[in-house]
A and B are shown apart, each in its own frame.
Chain A
Amino acid sequence: MMEKMIFGRFIPGDSLVHRLDPRAKILFVFLFIGIVFVANNAIGYALLLGFTLLIVFLSKIRLYFLINGLKPIFILLIFTFLLHLFFTREGDLLFSFWIIEIYEEGLRQGIFISIRFLVLVFMTSILTLTTSPISITDGIEILLGPFKKIKLPVHELALMMSISLRFIPTLMDETGKIIKAQMARGSDIGSGPMKERIKAVVPLLIPLFVSAFKRAEDLATAMEVRGYRGGEGRTRFRQLDWRLADTLSFVLLAGLTAVLWYFRT
């Protein structure tokens, strides 16, 4: 199941959306999150849904792939929908059976909230699906740049993020090796009652931690030797490049906001 889960994953590609500047995409998603709350009627939500599908189309990510990958999220979605459906008691009574009573307002709220949830999940997924983690880190670093003035360690945070991302596969490999090594010594990971399984994790975590600390020390030495002295006076190899398409994406967003505002009741 984790294999298919796409929340937070990156799928390399060459669509219009893939090529946008990460700064543009991050800002876009943040603004979009705010704009979603402008919609308050059927037209508004239909527009939001249509807009999101347009973006999905532009990103060349197959809708089926997106829905399939977000299955665990849909469970949450259905749960929220049902919650609204059963517990809102306003408007006309539409349906009544035994103790279940469904009101018009409940159905409306249920649908609206579900759409809101859906478009937000889709949009953020598209951000991560079309932007490599390192680009997201670059984007965040530059967007947060102004906060350096208030002593927010922006460069350090971005470096931490990129190094963590860089070491995830290394540490995953290592975990695999340690599991095998422990299994070869007769430890039984992944079976038996919960308590036993938790106990079996300890001989896995300790070597992993020891080695992670060793790696951290080596890495610090290697960085120092290569002249790392913090963010001061550093130049950047990765350059971000704001193009017309990036500006246009915000025009599109402004258009959506205007239309939503117009139809708002």
Chain B
Amino acid sequence: MNLDILSFENVTFTYDTEDGTVLPAVAKVSFAIQPGEWVALVGHNGSGKSTIAKLMNGLLFPQEGSVKVMGHTMSEETLWNIRSQMGMVFQNPDNQFVGATVQDDVAFALENNGVPHAEMVERVHEALHQVKMADYKDHEPHHLSGGQKQRVAIAGALAMRPKLLILDEATSMLDPQGRMEVIETIRRLRESTGLTVISITHDLEEAALAGRMIVMNEGHKHVEGAPKDVFKRGDELTGMGLDLPFAMRMTHLLQEAGVGLQEEHMTEDKLVDELWKYYSKA
């Protein structure tokens, strides 16, 4: 079991509210993530995804169960060491930009962890290269697009050379172009460094890119598995307020309309491929 980079064991968390206790935001959730995986955590708004993210890096502590990261149980003592090994990117590109310029922002975590100056310069440079933002190092945040700001935020996390990167709805405030940039960056990073990624999203299109999906519903873990298996539960997912990827909905509609497609398609490219084949056969 020590192989897991991160694991939740029966984790329950309820927010303190003024009107007494309410439903737990996260209830008896267990899962484990192995090094090198890309896991998508999906669920409707308010299903407990962000709460899980906060439990992952000790912004919150579970009332029941335990959170383990790289073999250490999350506690006040292990907290800062754990945090230095995991990067986290949030939803709003503006609200996580601390530095005055791109390179200052990337250096922020390094400064906090007391990295010597010479090494800091090197790591900032390297991280900016990894997200292809090196040309923008002296730019101020208000001159960057949302997608660029998110890439800077990713660089800020990468500068710490983390083992794990968590993205909490990091693409949900971006335009399609910005989303593409961020997703492409993650994909490339995983290829070149084998980084473990947990991406939290309510967009199943994005989740389809991950190796594994964990679906949350009202604080409970609903199902877990490879995207193509999870997507087989089509109506169940739409019933929980999730939108199936466009290619899948299209496939279903075509099949209903009597077009004899053989497979379920998660990406548009694959659907288009089969349509071509279908067309040339017909």
**Segment touching A, from B34-42, B100-108, B240-248, B253-261:** B100-108
Q: Which residue of A lies closest to B107 (CB)?
A: A237
- Contact (Cβ within 8 A) B114 A169: no
Knowing A235-B115, A237-B110 touch, does A166 contact B141 (C-beta < 8 A)? yes
Q: Least Cβ distance of A109 to chain B in Å?
A: 44
Q: Are A226 and B100 interface neighbours, CB within 8 A?
A: no
A89 contacts partner chain B, Cβ-Cβ < 8 Å? no
Interface residues of B in 95-131 (CB under 8 A from A): 95-101, 103-104, 107-117, 120-121, 124
Contact: A219 with B96, CB < 8 Å? yes
**Interface residue range, chain B:** 35 or more
Return 5 A-B CB contacts under 8 Å, by A number. Answer: A218-B96, A226-B157, A228-B108, A229-B80, A235-B117
List residues of chain B with CB within 8 A of the CB of A90.
none
Q: Hey, which chain B residues are within 8 Å of A235, CB to CB?
A: 110-111, 114-117, 120
Q: Could you say which residues of chain B place their CB within 8 Å of the CB of A219? A: 95-96, 98
Tell me how far the C-beta of B256 lies from the nearest C-beta in chain A, rounded to whole angstroms: 41
Q: Report B15 CB to chain A, min CB distance, Å.
A: 14
The interface-forming segment of B82-90, B174-182, B198-206, B267-275 is B82-90
A222→B98 contact, CB < 8 A: yes
Q: Which applies to chain B's interface (DSSP): helix, strand, loop or mixed?
A: helix
How far in angstroms is the closest Cβ of chain B from A237?
Answer: 4
Which residues of B lie under 8 Å from residue A173 when comparing CB positions? Answer: 142
Most buried by A among B92, B94, B142, B156: B94
Which residue of A134, A224, A226 has the most chain B CB atoms within 10 A of its CB atom?
A226
Cβ of B59 < 8 Å from any Cβ of A?
yes
User: Restricting to A211-263, which residues have a CB under 8 Å from any CB of B?
Assistant: 214-215, 218-219, 221-229, 233-239
Q: Check if B142 sits within 8 Å of A170, measured CB to CB.
A: yes
Within 8 A of B (CB), among A128-157: 132-134
- Would you call B224 an interface residue if the criterion is a C-beta within 8 Å of the partner chain's C-beta atoms? no
Q: Which of B53-92 contact A (CB under 8 A)?
A: 57, 59, 80, 83-84, 88, 90, 92
**Most chain B Cβ neighbours within 10 Å, of A162, A173, A222, A239:** A222
* Inter-chain contact A237/B104, CB cutoff 8 Å: yes
State whether A234 touches B103 (Cβ < 8 A): no
Interface residue total, chain A, C-beta cutoff 8 A? 30
Judge if B140 is at the interface, Cβ distance under 8 Å.
Answer: yes
Bound form: Cα–Cα A225–B98 in Å: 12
Q: Are B111 and A236 in contact (CB under 8 A)?
A: yes
Q: Tell me, in angstroms, the Cα distance from A70 to B163 when the chains sit together.
A: 54
Smallest CB-CB separation from A173: which chain B residue? B142
Contact between chains at B100 and A237 (CB < 8 Å): no
Give the top 7 A-B pairs by smallest Cβ distance, nearest first.
A218-B95, A237-B107, A222-B96, A227-B112, A169-B142, A226-B109, A134-B100
CA distance A181 to B83 in the complex (A): 40
Given contacts A134-B104, A169-B140, A238-B104, is CB(A228)–CB(B112) below 8 Å? yes
Known: A218-B90, A218-B92, A226-B109. A166 touches B99 (CB 8 A): yes
Q: Are A166 and B97 neighbours in the complex by a CB distance under 8 Å?
A: yes
Please tell me if the beta carbons of A225 and B57 are within 8 angstroms of each other in the complex: yes
Residue contact A170 to B110, C-beta cutoff 8 Å? no
In the complex, A11 has a CB within 8 A of chain B = no
Chain B residues within an 8 Å CB radius of A239: 117
Q: In this complex, what residue of B is CB-closest to A219?
A: B95
In the complex, whether A163 has a CB less than 8 A from a CB of chain B is yes
Please judge, given known A-B contacts A169-B140, A226-B108, A226-B112, whether A237 and B90 are in contact too, CB under 8 Å: no
